[in-house]
Amino acid sequence: MSAWSLPKILAGLHRDVEGRLATARETLSHPGTKGAAAERVWLDLLQTYLPRRYHVETAHVVDSNGEFSEQIDVLIFDRQYSPFIFRYEGQIIVPAESVYAAFEAKQVIDAGQIDYAQKKVASVRRLHRTSLPIPYAEGTYQAKTPAHILGGILTLESDWKPALGEPLLRALSTNPGDRLDLGCVAAHGVLACDPEGRHTVTPQGKPATAFLLELIARLQSSATVPMIDIRAYARFLG
């Protein structure tokens, strides 16, 4: 009987992601089709491996003031405590209060793509989030301050040489409003940002797996989404 091997399992997960991204890049000629395929690879990874309390889709985000985000390639949001998910003809809209993380998916990154991803993330973070006191058996918890929404970029390759060098770090914003907290360049490594806005890049033999585990760890340390004031949205019915 062959023995299980955790290193081989983790390596196999990365190889699957990198291989699918590479196949999409090499075989699909239309840019839109290629981009959609890359998004699908990352969506499949997170939909399969994140805990069930998290939902992952391509979606727009709306707030109780009627403001919308840009379309987010990979949006991670709550489905345990947050109602009000609108679906129509493949389009998904979720309330700002439910969002944990927003990622842009690209085939290759350069300074332009980093800037684009930062603007996409900022379009989510700028939205208003309500927060109500939370009743429980012995009383009421105070309304919580909504947590920082994670933002990042997911890609196969980098246009820089070296792929994860100083030019990449210089392109990254340290502003909490648009900074990228976490990213994966599947052919090379991962990038991460600490709470003070300091970015690091780590060359990594299994970047997709390393990214997945770090994302789960960061989601674990993030507070549960606030209690949404659904009546704030209902005022648009009048």
Which tokens is 66 given? 């009627």
| Residue of 99, 95, 107 lying closest to 156 (CA atoms) | 107
> β-strand 134-136 against 199-203: which pairing, if any?
unpaired
**Helices (runs of H) and strands (runs of E) counted in the chain:** 6, 13
State the catalytic residue, choosing from 18, 78, 106, 157: 106
Q: DSSP 3-state assignment of 193? A: strand
pLDDT at 24 over 80: no
Residue 222's pLDDT band, with cuts at 50, 70 and 90, is: confident
For 160-191, the pLDDT digits (tens) are 999 999 999 999 999 989 999 999 999 999 99
State the catalytic residue, choosing from 63, 78, 97, 104: 104
Q: What percent of the chain has pLDDT over 90?
A: 58
Mean pLDDT of the 19-34 span: 73
- Give domain limits for the chain: 6-230
Annotation marks residue 106 as catalytic:
yes
Annotation marks residue 70 as catalytic:
no
User: What confidence score (pLDDT) does residue 32 get?
Assistant: 66
Distance in angstroms (rounded) separating the CA atoms of residues 237 and 235: 5
State the catalytic residue, choosing from 39, 73, 78, 157: 73
Rounded-to-5 percentages of helix, strand, coil across the chain: 35, 25, 35
User: What confidence score (pLDDT) does residue 29 get?
Assistant: 65
Annotation marks residue 157 as catalytic:
no
| Residue of 150, 69, 61, 48 lying closest to 97 (CA atoms) | 61
Q: DSSP 3-state assignment of 10? A: helix
